[in-house]
Amino acid sequence: MEGPARRPNRLPKFDYSQAGYYFVTICIREQRHTFWTSVGATCGRPPLSPIGQIVERELVALGHAYPTVYLDKYVIMPNHLHLIIRLEAPKDGRPQVAPTLSRVVQQFKGAVTKAAGFPIWQKSFHDHIIRNEPDYLRIWQYIDTNPLKWEQDRYYTPSVDHALQV
């Protein structure tokens, strides 16, 4: 017997390979606190766990896999991460198959899973198409202050020591 059908979370008929800015949230399975070495209030960037370090390494490597993909801003939280991903058109004007946002996220999640040695991600991801500069600046600010407001975050779960180990 199959579970309930999942609601599609991509904007219908939108071309997610077109140049633009996208706010992406990716969550870990079972809301495990896995990416920080300790979970709680912090006065700055928290120390990343070994898996958190893998996540950061693969985020930084996104541009190597896709030369038209840029990571403008990111934050790694205990059980999720937020990113601003910028997709650009090829600078030389040559036609090429542009990666979709879904393909970029899938590649990233696969690289982290391979490096960790086991699956850690929840299915899919949440995205928001950034439409203008005020929207971009609001999201930038949210990402910047997210670690300081961890206990008010919508993905917050009480500290349960069930972090995954590499």
The 10s digit of each residue's pLDDT in 18-61 is 889 999 999 999 888 889 886 555 556 678 999 999 999 999 99
Query: What would the pLDDT profile of 43-54 be if each residue is shown by its tens digit?
Result: 566 789 999 999
Domain CATH code at residue 140 = 3.30.70.1290
Q: Is residue 1 part of a domain?
A: no
Smallest CA-to-CA distance from 81 within 21, 131, 137, 36 is with 36
CB 51 within 8 A of CB 116: yes
How many separate domains does the chain show? 1
DSSP 30: G
Q: Is residue 38 part of a domain?
A: yes
Q: Is residue 142 part of a domain?
A: yes
The chain-wide mean pLDDT, for the chain, equals: 82
Q: What is the identity of the amino acid at 83? A: L
Q: What is the identity of the amino acid at 17? A: S
Query: What would the pLDDT profile of 122-139 be if each residue is shown by its tens digit?
Result: 999 999 999 999 999 999
Question: Bigger pLDDT: 58 or 161?
Answer: 58
User: Whole domain around residue 62: which residue ranges?
Assistant: 25-89+100-152
- What is the predicted pLDDT for the residue at 7? 54
Q: Is residue 39 part of a domain?
A: yes
CB 36 within 8 A of CB 46: yes
Question: Bigger pLDDT: 82 or 41?
Answer: 82
Report residue 43: phi and psi, to 5°.
-105, 20
